[in-house]
Structures are given as C-alpha cells and as structure tokens.
Structure 1
Amino acid sequence: MKNFFVLALIILGTQIGLAQDIDNNNKPDPLSKKGQMFVFFGWNRGAFSNSDIHFTGNGYDFQLNNVSAKDRPTKFGIVYFDPAWFTVVQYNFRAGYFIKDNLALVLGIDHMKYVMNQNQTVNFNGHISDPKYAAMVQNGQVDLSDEQFLTFEHTDGLNYENLGLEKYKNLINKDNIDLVWSYGAGVGVMFPKSNVKLFGNERSDRFHVAGIGTDVRTSLNLVFWRHWMARLEAKAGYINMWDIKTTLNNKPDKAQQDFVFGQVLAGIGYTFNTKKYK
C-alpha cells in the first residue's frame, strides 16, 4: 500500500509538471505578441548640437549664433528613487501596447534638461533699442559669462512628449531570461518649462507648448522571469521650438531655436499579457 501511494504521488507530480510545461509553452515570449503591454521608468543623459536662438520682443529683434548647451544630471542619491522627487531628475517614462505581433505603439515622456553654457561668447545679428544692452555687443559678438545679458535653460525641463512605433525581435530565449532588441521612430510635442532671464527682466518659468520633436530609437530589453525587464535605449532626434516664452507677462516676447539631440537612457520595467493563454 505504501509503495502504491508513493507511485501515485510520482505519477501525479509528473502530470502536474507536464501540465505546467504545456502551459508555459503556450504562453508567448515576452515583448512579442499582440495584446501584450509594458511600462518602463528610467533615467537619461543627453547631448545637444549648437543652435541659433532668435529673440523677438518690444524694442529688440536679434539672433545669437552657434550657442552651445549641455544637460544637467542630478547628483546620484535618494532623489532618484523617492516618488515625491522623481521629476527633479532627468527621467523617462514609457507605456507600450503591442498592436500586432512584434510591433508596439509606445507613449513616451522624455524629461531632459537643456542648459546654455554660460561661459561663452557668441556672434550677434540684429538690433536692441535699450542702450545698456546694446552696448554689451562688441564687434558683432556678446559675452554671456556675467549673466547680465541672458540666462537660458529648459531645466524643468526639456519635455518631449511623444508617440512612437517600435519593432521587436527576440535575440535570446532561455527558461527565465529573454533578450529582445527593438528599433523605431517617434514624433511629439515639446512642452518645456523654460527658465529664461533676458535683459534683467524677471525670470520666465512656466510650462508651455513650444514646438515639436521627432526621433529614431533603438533598445535592448533584458526580461527576467517573463515579466521584469531592464531596458537600455539610445535615441537621436530633432527639436524645433518656435514659441519659447521669455517673459512672465502676455507680451509677444519669445525665442525660437532648433537643434539635434542625442540621448542614452536606462531603467526598469514590467511587461505582461492582457489576455489569458491556455
């Protein structure tokens, strides 16, 4: 009787194992099938090409040529993990839905930071009616280093809110690990909170739809246990902002600029099926 009981347990365990194997085999690979979703949160570093910035307003119409800028990453610390402060850092959010096998529609928010390099002298074209600031232009150039003429940032931030299509391809498929490559492109609106102080005026600091952006992107996604994912993404794109607010009032003062950007980001995410598989 005892031997029979042991044999019965062995047979039952074998059947359960086979059922689990069949169930696992019927579940699709992660990031591969229509109806799957993923969410992702990460952090970025960015780089920007030089750009010409055109300023217009009451009493001035001029352009600063070949202006350089950089990003401003927050020093690593608890701020990167505290939900109350996550918007302080240069962050990225993604939500993707597979509309077809291996093809996802991805909603993204790229919170970059753009800071004009203050210690630079740039070429100047145009006119300024205020004699104080007109006198700062010497031999067709203006020195920005003392911050009296201009400070210019998109640090709260250079927000690129975009929608993209991404194609996915499984490179490695193991029991608990998948490596999936993706590539795609996106387009969206620029919604910066620009910090601008021009000619000693009160600093402009408010959110505003300023223009559009577009990008191409590629990523590697390492998926553990079919759900948890680590993502490394590279992106390059073009930004054109023709309505950057430079004052706090309702005057028509504004700036225009366009530039190319590059971005590398990394973070963690979760992927899941929206329907059951037998």
Structure 2
Amino acid sequence: MKRLFVVGLMMSSFVFGQKKDSLVVENNADLFKAPVSKKPEPLSKKGQMFFFYGWNRAAFSNSDIHFKGNGYDFQLNNVTAQDRPTKFGIVYFDPSWFTVTQYNFRIGYFIKDNLALVLGIDHMKYVMDQDQTVNFKGHISDPQYAGMVQNGQVNLADEKFLTFEHTDGLNYENLGLEKYQSLINKKNVDLVWSYGAGIGFMFPKSNVKLFGNERSDRFHVAGMGTDVRASLNLVLWNHVMVRLEGKAGYINMWDIKTTLNNKPDKAQQDFVFGQIMGGIGYTFNTKKYK
C-alpha cells in the first residue's frame, strides 16, 4: 500500500510538472511571435494618404491698395471686394472646366499617427467692388486721371480709372500641418475632425486695367499667405471622404503686376480672408496591415 502511495505521488508530480513546464514553453514561445498590427481606421495612422477636391466661398476684409509706376504713386484706402462664385451647373463636374470654379485641392500624408502634412491649392476669386468711392492719397502726373480725384476721393464706378481683380484667380499654394481626432467610429462610418495651420505663396493671375492701359493678366508669384484651419471629415466604407473645412488667414501681396510689359509698374495690398469649402475625397493606406 505504501508502495502504491509513493508511486502515485511520483506520477502526479510528473504529470503536474510536465503541465507547468509546457506552460512555460508556451509562454516563452509567445515572446517570439511577431506582433499582429490591426488595420487602422481612416485618417489615423502613419503611412495613410488622402486626396480631396472641392469648392469654396470666400470673404475678404477691406484693404489699402498702393499703385506705383511711371508718373504715378498713390494709394486707394479701404477698398472693398467680393468673391465671384460660378453659377452651379455642369461646369462643377466637367474636368476640362475645373479651373473656372472657385476650387480647392488637397493631398495629405500622415507623417505620424493622427498628424498629416497637407499640400493644398486654394483657387479663390477676388473682385474689387466697382460701384464705390474710395479715399485717395498720392499723386498722378496725367491730368486726365488726376482730374478724376475730387476732394481726396475717386469714384471707380465707370471703370475708366481702374478695374482690379484676381479672378484667374487668387491662388494660394500652401503647405499645412493638421492634427486629426476620431469622433465617431462605426463599421462603415467614421467621423474625424482636424485642426492645423499652413503657410504658402500667392500665385495669382491678376486682371488689372489702370488708366485705360491694356489689361494685365499673367501668372506670377506676388507674395505670401498664412492660415489656420479646421475640418470635419466623414469617411464611408473606410475610403470615401466627404470634407467640410473652414479657414481664416492673412495675405500680403507686394508685387501685383499692373501692366503687360516689364515696366516697374506694380500694386501692393494685404488683407484678411475667410473661406469655407466642401467636397469629396479618397483615403487609403500606403503600407500593409495584417
């Protein structure tokens, strides 16, 4: 009987000992397993990208515009201006006409989790209000146009003195940094908001006609801009993105071309702008996830 008891103890010790050892082996094996990376949600992980195309409405503060050239050096104060949206129609969806509208383009790349570097083009349109009388400061040597200045003011309504637009357009080429945060995370629906800031250069094609000269309308780098922005991004089925963005910023253009030739004629202005835009995009991963 004692022998059976001893044998039983030895066998039980062997069995439980084997189980313990097997657990240790299994646990050690787990240490060498490759980590499984979960597929990330849209607009959240390093290596993701997105494209976006949309349309905008913009508003501009009053600005002082300084004109300088051969025979004149003057400033028009508190000039008002508006944007010029294209009437809604097929032009908004026809690729051959996309530059006619006030459009926006974005390409973003997530350099870190929830942090994206975004390259953008904001094609706004700036049109000086023609029906306005503004304060004038400076001199004009041409008696015809100098005579249009009355009591320190000039009426722009008849377009003979000046027409002034950035309608081809007020192009803000910018690079921004944006932080993203998930608000809603469902199977096929994600809502993500972002905020950030950007800086870039102004590349307008300004339509300017001063003192009856031939209209100047050529692309050129005219100055710089900066902005702060925030957006809501609705992502459907992990890829299709609907984006609504608001933006406010400052533009300073010190080299606006006012003549077609290489004369030193130019205009300078700076102003604050606000913009709201919406459109559609697509988001995808540039790296594989298990």
Scaled by the length of structure 2, what TM-score is found?
Answer: 0.87
- Give the drift of 1:144: 0.1
**RMSD after superposition:** 0.6
Structure-1 residue corresponding to 2:123:
111
Structure-2 residue corresponding to 1:97:
109
Structure-2 residue corresponding to 1:135:
147
- Give the drift of 1:72: 0.1
1:189 to 182, 201, 212: 201
Structure-2 residue corresponding to 1:33:
45
1:77 to 82, 89, 95: 89
- Give the drift of 1:220: 0.0
Corresponding letter in the other structure for 1:170: S
Structure-1 residue corresponding to 2:137:
125
Deviations 1:189-240 (A, max 9, x none): 0000000000000000100100000000000000000000000000000000
Scaled by the length of structure 1, what TM-score is found?
Answer: 0.91
Number of aligned pairs? Answer: 254
| 1:1-278 matches, cutoff 5 A | 26-278=38-290
Q: Distance in 1 between matches of 2:165 and 2:286?
A: 41
Structure-1 residue corresponding to 2:12:
none
Tell me the secondary structure at the aligned position of residue 86 of structure 1.
helix
- Give the drift of 1:26: 1.9
Q: Distance in 2 between matches of 1:36 and 1:190?
A: 28
Corresponding letter in the other structure for 1:80: Y
Q: Distance in 2 between matches of 1:43 and 1:110?
A: 9
In structure 1, list runs of 5 or more residues that go unmatched. 1-24
Tell me the secondary structure at the aligned position of residue 193 of structure 1.
coil
In structure 2, list runs of 5 or more residues that go unmatched. 1-36
Q: Please list every run of at least 4 consecutive aligned residues from structure 1 whose deviation after the TM superposition is greater than 2 angstroms.
A: none
